[in-house]
Amino acid sequence: MENTFEELIASYIQNKVGMAEHFLSDSLAMGLKQNLLLLNQQNLLIDAGTGNSNVISYDSAVRSDSIYWLDKKHNNVFENEFFELIEGFIQYLNESCYAGITGYEFHYSLYESGDFYLKHLDQFKTNPSRKYSMISYLNLNWQESDGGELLIHQLNKNQKIAPTQGKTIFFKSDELVHEVLVTNNVRMSVTGWLKSD
């Protein structure tokens, strides 16, 4: 896995946006996807809001996806494998870049056709604990016509990223404004943050 970890870090250093096409194995991506689809069938996803646990607002004109938080208490085999992968990456990141990451949080994210998330930063104004954002995609055979790209706004050039299965994106939570463009198909990911409390 160290090669994949290094790919993510090296591309981040080069472009402020780390990208590894196969950070998730196919089996892990498919397992997480099946979890998410089952949770959705059971009506366990909740509307996504903006803000933190102290001040949260729900506005479908800003974002319209649904989420479900991952938790070790679930003792789900695929979530546990994902946590092991993230913990390995954090250890590698801390040892190679002295990042000082002490924790993390992740949720499933489901966008139905027509859903989107307008421009935003991931770090809260009143709480700087989120240091890096990570998004791992679960969409097999995604086509350009499906839309739903992650659009990252940079000074020199905006970057549009297709949400293809296994791909993981990594960037500083307080640095890059980004948005999810309107999706024309069901779009799934595991999204979260590496934290320093």
Task: Mean pLDDT check: name the lowest of 46-55, 65-74, 110-119.
Answer: 46-55
Is 56 part of any domain? Answer: no
Residue 150 confidence (pLDDT) above 90: yes
Is 33 part of any domain? Answer: yes
Structural domain count, the chain: 1
Residue 90 confidence (pLDDT) above 80: yes
Instruction: Assign 194 a pLDDT band (cuts: 50, 70, 90).
Output: very high
Residue 123 confidence (pLDDT) above 80: no
More confident residue, 23 or 2: 23
More confident residue, 56 or 101: 101
Is 57 part of any domain? Answer: no
Separation of first and last alpha carbons in the chain: 26
Residue 64 confidence (pLDDT) above 90: no
Query: What is the pLDDT at residue 112?
Result: 95
Query: What is the pLDDT at residue 155?
Result: 83
Query: What is the pLDDT at residue 28?
Result: 98
Is 165 part of any domain? Answer: yes
Query: What is the pLDDT at residue 62?
Result: 79
Query: What is the pLDDT at residue 126?
Result: 64
Give the mean model confidence (pLDDT) for residues 42-52. Answer: 79
Domain of 9: which CATH number? 2.60.120.620
Residues with Cβ within 8 Å of residue 31, at least 6 apart in sequence: 77, 78, 81
- Domain with 134, as residue range(s), is 1-49+63-195
Q: Are 182 and 114 in contact (CB under 8 A)?
A: yes
The percent of residues in the chain predicted with pLDDT above 70, rounded, is 91
Is 79 part of any domain? Answer: yes
Give the mean model confidence (pLDDT) for residues 167-191. Answer: 95
